[in-house]
Amino acid sequence: MATVGFVGLGIMGRPMLRNLLKAGHTVVAYGRTPATLDLVVADGAQRASSNADVGARAPIVITMLPDGPEVEEVVLGANGILSGAKPGSLIIDMSSISPLVSQKIAAECEAKKVDFLDAPVSGGEPKAVDGTLAIMVGGKPEVFLKAEPILKCLGSSVTLTGPVGAGNTTKLANQIMVACNIAAMGEALALAARCGLNPEVVVNAVKAGLAGSAVLNAKGPMLIARNFKPGFRISLHQKDLRNALQTAEANHVFLPLTAQVQQMLSSLIADGKGDFDHSAIATFIESASHVEVKVPGA
């Protein structure tokens, strides 16, 4: 069993931390919100006084934060994790951020003889809770082997995808596919609803064929039930697609579908839906078509 530091106690971070505790690891936690930190301490985590304190007390530290600026502040900032970390320790950033930011942080860590992995996840809150996240890792193979037993407490799939930055590049690819799938699902079910069909029947008819997907299975029922409780927020998915478009621009790649869906997300945020689950991407199509995807008579 290891002592693991954890910074970032949001929708994803809290259940991930609890799974580390369930596996028998000692967890040293820190977060800016005292009430949230109190919750994980009540679960059995040890309370740290700062990010630097986490780095000083834990040889392996996991961060799970909203975006690159937050990761830079927590890891590299004054009183950050790196300021307390000892040579030979390991920082695993499981946030979804720009690959360029991951590479910048890794270079700063290497200068202080601290290892670094970028290891973003897919699966949202449900898979964070049951410990079956898909984890995409970027870093040195020998560092990955050191981290793999810890990561397997959090995910059912843990894959080294390449050097530092590759994890987040893989996550951006994942987020493109998920967002475009939800948008396509919205178009398909809006058409079915306009034509008077029961969307539940349509989903059941197509899910065993080529159109079937994990996205359809998870997000179709949420849309039909009008359940937009966030497992993964629209605001965060918009951030991911923005990072994807910036990475594409730097690498001269044309992403027309991503750009269009990213604009849908921006419109939904402006409409006050930034904290909705990303299944609500489909509501952009509904609004434009003046139709609602629901069971007839519901």
Catalytic annotation, residues:
171
- Close Cβ partners of 297 (under 8 Å, ≥ 6 residues apart): none
Could you give phi then psi for residue 187, rounded to 5 degrees?
-65, -45
For the record, the structure tokens of 24 come out as 């028998």
Which residue stretches of 152-233 are H helix? 166-194, 199-206, 214-225
Distance of CA 192 to the CA centre of its chain: 31
Q: Are 92 and 138 in contact (CB under 8 A)?
A: no
- How many Å apart are CA 90 and CA 170, to the nearest integer? 21
- How many Å apart are CA 220 and CA 193, to the nearest integer? 13
Locus of tokens 């069971």: 295
Q: How far is CA 38 from CA 16, 19, 64, 70, 213, in A?
A: 16, 17, 17, 21, 38
∠ Cα 150 94 86 (to 5°): 65
32: left (phi over 0), alpha (psi -120 to 50) or beta: alpha
